[in-house]
Amino acid sequence: MSNKIFFIVFLFSLIAFSQPKDPEAILKKVKAEFSKIEDYTVDVKVKVDVDFLKMPDREAKIYYKQPDKIHIESEGFAMLPKEGLNFSPLSLLNSNYTSFYVREDTLNKIVTSVIKVIPLDGRSDVILSTLWVDTKRDLILKVESSRKPEGTFTIDMDYLKTEKGFWLPSSMVFTFSIDRSILPRKFNFDTDSDLKKTMEDSTKAQTGKVFIDYSNYKVNTGLPDEIFNDKGIKK
């Protein structure tokens, strides 16, 4: 009898193990974890790596407030996608979407659940996003998104725990495609004939990377809405 009971328990364990994970349950926990953070300010150091664009490393201060308010105090970031400076899971998960579980994957020795998210709002710029979720800490470690018309961008994140116990990014690598034809006139490099020729000989779309390091988080201090009344970047 005991062998029979053991077999039944073993059989149910196999069935439970073989069933796919519930993507919505995983994402709900991610939203709940990030929703604890009502606002924050953080200092960042930014390095931009684009073959045809020479931009010095910069420092900035980012202000964030739920659900999607962002204000950046610095210069020279107007051409960069906003996701490259500040990523919020709520920007993807607070609208109508459908999701499905893909597989289990390991990133930097951390086991993650890979989930695809498809927005159902036709006005969304994002067509499809793939998320790598650390289900032990309920954090998104990597994002790959396809957008119209910019193409695909990838975000890779490492995290730190703040003094108040919140998990927030310690570093981020944002990889994106950039179309030279949409660059402002000041980036035409007319004074550098060699660089201009290199640009003309290369393909139209280029890949760029933004490396960001975060420090000095201040979380849930009650930031006033007035901070976010401008276009998001203070020059």
At CA 74, angle to CA 71 and CA 77, rounded to 5? 85
Q: Is the pLDDT of residue 197 over 60?
A: no
Residue 11 within a domain: no
Instruction: Assign 18 a pLDDT band (cuts: 50, 70, 90).
Output: very low
Residue 59 within a domain: yes
Report how far Cα 97 is from the mean position of its chain's Cα atoms.
17
Q: Is the pLDDT of residue 196 over 90?
A: no
Residue 153 class from Cβ within 10 Å (0-12 exposed, 13-18 middle, 19+ buried)?
buried
Instruction: Decide which of 126 and 57 is more confident.
Output: 57
- Compute the average pLDDT of residues 133-139: 94
**H or E element that contains 213:** strand 205-219
Q: Mean pLDDT across the chain, nearest whole number?
A: 76
CA dihedral sign, ordered 23, 90, 37, 32: negative
Instruction: Decide which of 223 and 185 is more confident.
Output: 223
Residue 161 within a domain: yes
Residue 224 within a domain: yes
Residue 13 within a domain: no
Structurally, the chain folds into a number of domains equal to 1
For residue 111, what is the domain's CATH number? 2.50.20.10
DSSP readout, 87-151? --THHHHSS-EEEEEEEEEEETTEEEEEEEEEE--TT-SEEEEEEEEETTTTEEEEEEEEETTTE
Q: Is the pLDDT of residue 201 over 60?
A: no
* β-pairing verdict for 69-73 and 233-234: parallel
Q: Is the pLDDT of residue 38 over 50?
A: yes
Instruction: Decide which of 59 and 194 is more confident.
Output: 59
Q: Is the pLDDT of residue 177 over 80?
A: no
Residue ranges making up the domain that contains 86: 21-234
- Percent of the chain beyond pLDDT 70? 69
Q: Is the pLDDT of residue 202 over 60?
A: no
Residue 127 within a domain: yes
Q: pTM of the prediction?
A: 0.76
Model confidence pLDDT, tens digit, residues 141-173: 999 988 776 678 899 999 999 888 899 999 999
Residue 2 within a domain: no
Q: Is the pLDDT of residue 119 over 60?
A: yes
Instruction: Decide which of 91 and 199 is more confident.
Output: 91
115 with 130: CB under 8 angstroms? Answer: yes
115 with 123: CB under 8 angstroms? Answer: no
Which pLDDT does position 86 carry in this prediction? Answer: 63
Which pLDDT does position 218 carry in this prediction? Answer: 94
